[in-house]
Amino acid sequence: MKRPVLHTIAVFIFLMLLLPFTSLARDIEPIVSTDWLQQHASDPKLVIVDIRKVEEFKTGHIPNAVNVVYGSFAIMKAGLRNEMPHADDLSDVLSSAGIGADSHVVVVGNADTVPNRTDISRVAITLRYAGVTNVAILDGGYGKWLAEKKPVATDIVKPKPVKHDIKANEAMFVKKDYVLGAIGKVTMIDTREPEFYEGKKKMDFVAKPGRIKGAVNLPPSQAYTKDGTFKTRAELAALVAKAAGSDPAKEIILYCDTGKVCSSWGYVMTELLGYKNVRIYDGSTEEWMKDPKAPAEP
**CATH number, position 175:** 3.40.250.10
Closest of 169, 167, 189 to residue 281, by C-alpha:
189
**Does 69 share its domain with 118?**
yes
pLDDT score of 114: 96
Inside any domain, residue 159 = no
**Signed CA dihedral, 254, 258, 259, 261: sign only:** negative
Q: Give Cβ neighbours of residue 149 (< 8 Å, ≥ 6 apart).
A: none
Closest of 105, 131, 112 to residue 32, by C-alpha:
105
**Domain end among 147, 182, 202:** 147
Inside any domain, residue 240 = yes
Q: Give how many domains the chain has, as a whole number.
A: 2
Distance CA 162, CA 43 (A): 17
For residues 123 and 107, the answer to whether their CB atoms sit within 8 Å is: yes
**Does 277 share its domain with 233?**
yes
**Does 175 share its domain with 140?**
no
pLDDT score of 20: 58
Mean pLDDT (the chain, rounded): 92
Q: Tell me the pLDDT band of 67, cut-offs 50, 70 and 90.
A: very high
**Does 115 share its domain with 45?**
yes
Inside any domain, residue 244 = yes
**Does 133 share its domain with 181?**
no
Inside any domain, residue 73 = yes
Inside any domain, residue 1 = no
**Does 178 share its domain with 288?**
yes
**Does 38 share its domain with 88?**
yes
**Domain end among 92, 112, 147:** 147
pLDDT score of 21: 52
pLDDT score of 15: 38
Stretch 72-97: mean pLDDT: 96
For residues 137 and 124, the answer to whether their CB atoms sit within 8 Å is: yes
Domain range for 110:
21-147
User: Nearest 5°: CA angle at 19, between 17 and 25?
Assistant: 75
Distance CA 142, CA 48 (A): 11
**Does 127 share its domain with 193?**
no
**Does 119 share its domain with 195?**
no
Stretch 215-220: mean pLDDT: 98
pLDDT score of 277: 97
**Does 175 share its domain with 132?**
no
**Does 175 share its domain with 293?**
yes
User: What global pTM score does this model have?
Assistant: 0.91
Cis peptide before 20 (omega within 30 of 0): no
For residues 92 and 239, the answer to whether their CB atoms sit within 8 Å is: no
**Domain end among 147, 182, 201:** 147
Inside any domain, residue 105 = yes
Inside any domain, residue 98 = yes
Inside any domain, residue 48 = yes
Selected residue with higher pLDDT from 292 and 12: 292
132 in helix, strand or coil?
A: coil
pLDDT at 11 over 50: no
**Does 112 share its domain with 226?**
no
